Amino acid sequence: MTAKRRGRALERALEAELTAHLGYERHEQGAGATAGNARNGKIAKTVQTGVGPVRLAVPRDRAGTFEPVLVPKRAGRVSGGLDDMVISLYAHGMSVRDIQDHLLQIYDTELSHEQVSRITDQVLEEVKAWQTRPLDPWYPVVFLDAIVVKVRDNHTVQAKPAYVAIGIDVDGDKHVLGIWLAKTPLDTATAGESARFWSAVMTDLRNRGVRDILIACTHGLPGFEEAIHHAFPHTTVQRCVVHLVRNALRPVARRDRSAVAAELKKIYTAPTIEAACRTCRPRARRPASGAAAAGRGRCPQRRPRVLPRAARRPGSRLPAARRTY
């Protein structure tokens, strides 16, 4: 989270705290006079956070009874609890009771149900604005993949794929274009990665301003390439090297996978076909000398077993345990 984005999130949370303290929304006519207290502008303040100094506009009330919890008065440093709270609320789907326990553990302050609801609603607006922000019209490379995360959906904790798109712009900088979670039906316990949802992701990227992608790096999901070409018909789809090596190592024994993976990576990362073919050529072995050269190449033979003297006499018999030749 950048300093500017975190500053906006802190200011929204402070406004929500002041609204809960006064008991009425902003710009309500006559509510301040009825309640006996009202908003009294803002005061500038700079606090130190985990992403550096952040300039804030802290709201005030006329009676001077407002004591903010997230950014306390005369506090020059804000701990990293806010972004931890936002991630826990948005990603894990915690209940209000769990959120209150979470804030009590981080800030050592007990908040009411209404305060928690107001703060989370304000922060979620910032998250939704990030999810729908406009994107650049052209990206040279875009990585598309899904990771399985644990989320709370339909009142149960489920393992669901989070669809992630990471783009590299013309300056070589990486940007997370978006993170999407599929809606799971009520009668479905889990959800898997599907090309149909990737088609919806591609459509969302196009609606947010992306007009062309030069190379799309993906894995071998059936129907994935068609989903990309449906939105971007001129995009070159390239298989991810990690997935290529992983698929090639399936028939290889476990003890040999490290050596084979190192050689396969040289082939897949070669700049040209000729360079890849040179890595496949067997290396010439140095000629050995002496006893090593004489003994190399011989098939080891099992020495003949010498039977006991009693077994070589005519008519003699050995016990059953020793009658093995």
- Closest Cα partner for 8 from 51, 65, 39? 51
Q: How many CB atoms lie within 10 A of CB 106?
A: 15
Give the chain's radius of gyration (CA, Å). 34
Kindly list the domain boundaries of the chain, sorted by start residue.
3-131, 138-239
* One-character DSSP codes across 149-185: EEEEETTEEEEEEEEEEEEE-TTS-EEEEEEEEPPPP
Mean pLDDT of the 63-74 span: 81
Encode pLDDT of 148-189 as tens digits. 887 766 666 677 888 899 999 999 999 999 998 877 654 454
Q: Which CATH number fits domain 138-239: 1.10.287, 3.30.420, 1.10.3470, 1.10.760?
A: 3.30.420
Q: 3-class DSSP state for residue 128? A: helix
Contact 64, 38 (CB under 8 A): no
Taking the C-alpha atoms of residue 83 and residue 150, their distance in angstroms, rounded to an integer, is 19
Mean pLDDT of the 97-105 span: 69
Q: Which residues in 16-29 are b (16+ Cβ under 10 Å) and which e?
A: bbbbbbbeeeeeee
Taking the C-alpha atoms of residue 264 and residue 269, their distance in angstroms, rounded to an integer, is 9
- Closest Cα partner for 135 from 170, 162, 83, 163? 170
Mean pLDDT of the 197-222 span: 90
Taking the C-alpha atoms of residue 156 and residue 145, their distance in angstroms, rounded to an integer, is 25
* One-character DSSP codes across 228-260: HHHH-TTPEEEE-HHHHHHHHTTTS-GGGHHHH
Taking the C-alpha atoms of residue 227 and residue 199, their distance in angstroms, rounded to an integer, is 5
Give the whole-number percent of the chain exceeding pLDDT 70. 64
Q: 3-class DSSP state for residue 323? A: coil
Q: How many CB atoms lie within 10 A of CB 165?
A: 24
pTM greater than 0.85: no
Residue 292 has pLDDT above 50, yes or no: no
